[in-house]
Amino acid sequence: MGSSGFSWKLPDHPKLPKDKTIGLIVLDGWGEANPDRYNCIHVADTPTMDSLKKGAPEHWRLLKAHGKAVGLPTEDDMGNSEVGHNALGAGRIYAQGAKLVDLALESGKIYDGEGFKYIKESFETGTLHLIGLLSDGGVHSRLDQVQLLLKGASERGAKRIRVHILTDGRDVLDGSSVGFVETLENDLAKLREKGIDAQIASGGGRMYVTMDRYENDWEVVKRGWDAQVLGEAPHKFKSALEAVKTLRAEPKANDQYLPPFVIVDDSGKSVGPIVDGDAVVTFNFRADRMVMIAKALENENFDKFDRVRFPKIRYAGMLQYDGELKLPSHYLVSPPEIERTSGEYLVHNGVRTFACSETVKFGHVTFFWNGNRSGYFNPEMEEYVEIPSDSGITFNVQPKMKAIEIAEKARDAILSRKFHQVRVNLPNGDMVGHTGDIEATVVACKAADDAVKMILDAIERVGGIYVVTADHGNAEDMVKRSKSGEPLLDKNGKIQILTSHTLQPVPIAIGGPGLAPGVRFRNDVPTGGLANVAATVINLHGYEAPSDYETTLIEVVDS
Ligand SMILES: O=C(O)[C@@H](CO)OP(=O)(O)O
Ligand SMILES: [Mn+2]
Ligand SMILES: [Mn+2]
């Protein structure tokens, strides 16, 4: 115990035993919605998840996974993996990046911070480059924040501004890139009227350029580096609007995967390479898909690809993306201080943990789960296993992904009896849902269900407990709908495919032979959300949760 009286030691739960093996499964992108043909979870054969639902209301219920329940600015904000896993692991609701940036821009505090002062030093003689995802999706970034930042920076001395855009089509409708570029072009034209030399300098689709995560494919980051820093790309255009319109006219074009392009002047020279003396801001607030580019921009020693040039710049992230690595070292807004997560408590109380997913979601059950912190709390108590994801494909061609491999690892970890908590993320519903391919998403949901079964069977064999939940919706609704819930059609009478997450609640189910008789979901937490899961799991490990955690979902009635 420290001098403040703080202790990592958790009190024993008055009724629940310790040392049970808990299989903790997060189905990524698995929400609950009305059954219809665009609900891939409903269409798919999912006997395991269906059978868990029969345990309602005592052993199955729904949780809020979007909006304020996960620390997002409004109830119109869909859930996402970062905020979802943060809430699941931390057991409290933190104002998240989106909200913190809103507040800092609203109050103007963003301009008084260390990060802005640092980049401002370059405004007199250098160019300010803004790199990030151009949409109003609100998962990684938001256009209105970029607009405010452009205004604020230009009013505070930025004379030459270059924006390097990444088109979305994942958190927003495919094809919406054109509209976002138009809006940005208008804003930049207005700045030019005021004598500021401002324009878009390069671009590319988010899944093909820059925004890789968890080191799945450094080529993605390199393609961005070449366009943004070196001013080189296979496609050259006079304007960004012309670029996106032309590239989208290609057969099978998709905003998520637009090839990299640079904007060139009349002499064919790129208008905005990043050079010595410039300032750079990566304006995404969300961490996972910014960590790799942040390393390329910041690290003196870097061997992931040949940077050709490593310009001496002043670089700041919108937020600091990794609290443990302190990356990047300069940032405009302080990230939420997520501390004392359930993982850290459990390690201090002798609970051994195993966590596993495939590369594309590996950081979700480790880094996000632990409050955007990389690495182990205590390597003696934890083991994290990453199964390499397929790279260079869209997951509708491999909808089963590595679900079975993840389940096998979890099964083996459970049967080894070395761990008290075996935690996995099953990516299928989400990663395939984002492709907008309905048939493939149905296959994906079945694969996830098969994986759940394998893990539950192992829990059965060791007399353990399972907790099955999800981080946000995706696969349960694949069509854009009117307010009354009718599928919306586009100009050609085709349904508008929804590639994004949703506002839907997610299920949570508990059970297994190790679940003490009399444990059931309370009925007095009707608005429970993802942040209530941590206390619940801590109870199932035989401990009382810390008093400032969101309340547990369970009670133990005498039977
Ligand atoms: O792929 C991603 O980056 C997001 C969507 O933008 O999905 P998730 O939050 O499920 O990781
Ligand atoms: Mn997710
Ligand atoms: Mn997703």
Ligand 1 atom 11: the closest Cα is on which residue? 81
Phi, psi dihedral angles at 472 (to 5 degrees): 180, 170
Provide the CATH number for the domain formed by 98-333 in this structure.
Answer: 3.40.1450.10
Determine the atom of ligand 1 nearest the C-alpha atom of 140: 6
Helix (H) or strand (E) run with residue 163 in it = strand 160-167
Contacts of 318 (CB under 8 A, 6+ apart): 97, 101, 132, 141, 145, 281, 282, 283, 284, 285, 331, 332, 333
Measured from the Cα of 81, ligand 1's closest atom is 9
CA distance 213 to 105: 27
**Tell me, what's the pLDDT at 5?**
80
Distance from Cα 112 to the centre of ligand 3, integer Å: 34
Residues with Cβ < 8 Å from 201, sequence gap 6 or more?
129, 162, 163, 164, 228, 231, 262, 263, 270, 271, 272, 273
Q: Measured in angstroms, how far is the CA atom of residue 156 from the centroid of ligand 2?
A: 38
Q: Is 140 annotated as a binding residue?
A: yes
Phi, then psi, of 124 in degrees rounded to 5: -65, -45
- In the prediction, which pLDDT does 3 show? 52
Q: 192 among the known binding-site residues?
A: no
- 258, 167 in Cβ contact below 8 A? yes
Ordered per-residue pLDDT tens for the chain, 559 residues = 445 689 999 999 999 999 999 999 999 999 999 999 999 999 999 999 999 999 999 999 999 999 999 999 999 999 999 999 999 999 999 999 999 999 999 999 999 999 999 999 999 999 999 999 999 999 999 999 999 999 999 999 999 999 999 999 999 999 999 999 999 999 999 999 999 999 999 999 999 999 999 999 999 999 999 999 999 999 999 999 999 999 999 999 999 999 999 999 999 999 999 999 999 999 999 999 999 999 999 999 999 999 999 999 999 999 999 999 999 999 999 999 999 999 999 999 999 999 999 999 999 999 999 999 999 999 999 999 999 999 999 999 999 999 999 999 999 999 999 999 999 999 999 999 999 999 999 999 999 999 999 999 999 999 999 999 999 999 999 999 999 999 999 888 999 999 999 999 999 999 999 999 999 999 999 999 999 999 999 999 999 999 999 999 999 999 7
Superfamily of structural domain 22-95+338-511 = Alkaline Phosphatase, subunit A (3.40.720.10)
Which atom of ligand 1 lies at the shortest distance from residue 500's CA?
5
Residues facing residue 192 across a β-bridge: none
Is 522 within any annotated ligand binding site? no
Is residue 92 annotated as involved in ligand binding? no
CB 31 within 8 Å of CB 498:
no
The residue contributing the CA closest to ligand 1 atom 5 is: 171
Give the binding-site residues of ligand 1, using a 6 Å CB cut-off: 28-29, 80-81, 139-140, 170-171, 289, 430
Could you tell me the distance, in angstroms and rounded to a whole number, from the CA of residue 139 to the centre of ligand 1? 7
The closest residue, in CA terms, to atom 3 on ligand 1 is 289
- The residue contributing the CA closest to ligand 1 atom 8 is 81
Specify whether 81 is catalytic: yes
Same fold, 22-95+338-511 and 98-333: no
Distance 161 CA to ligand 3 centre (A): 31
Residue from 356, 326, 351, 331 nearest 341 by CA: 351
**Ligand nearest, relative to CA of residue 88:** 2
Q: What is the pLDDT, as a whole number, of residue 2?
A: 46
Q: Where are the domains of the chain?
A: 22-95+338-511, 98-333
What end-to-end distance do the CA atoms of the chain give, in Å?
Answer: 37
At 88, give phi and psi (nearest 5°).
Answer: -60, -45
Question: Is residue 148 within 8 Å of residue 102, measured between CB atoms?
Answer: no
ipTM of the complex: 0.98
Indicate which ligand has the atom closest to the C-alpha of 475.
Answer: 3
- Pocket residue to mutate for ligand 1, from 72, 96, 139, most atoms within 8 A of Cβ: 139
Neighbours of 486 (CB within 10 A): 9
Question: Do residues 294 and 327 touch, judged by C-beta distance below 8 A?
Answer: yes
Options 4, 7, 51, 81, the catalytic residue: 81
Q: What is the pLDDT of residue 1?
A: 46
430 is in an annotated binding site: yes
Distance CA 416, CA 422 (A): 11
pLDDT at 303: 98
Atom number, ligand 1, closest to the C-alpha of residue 171: 6
How close is the Cα of 81 to the center of ligand 2, in Å?
4
Are the CB atoms for 205 and 254 separated by under 8 Å? yes
Query: What is the residue-wise DSSP string for 189-253?
Result: HHHHHTT-EEEEEEEEETTTTT---TTS-HHHHHHHHHHHTS---SEEES-HHHHHHHHHTSTT-
* Residue with CA nearest ligand 1 atom 10: 81
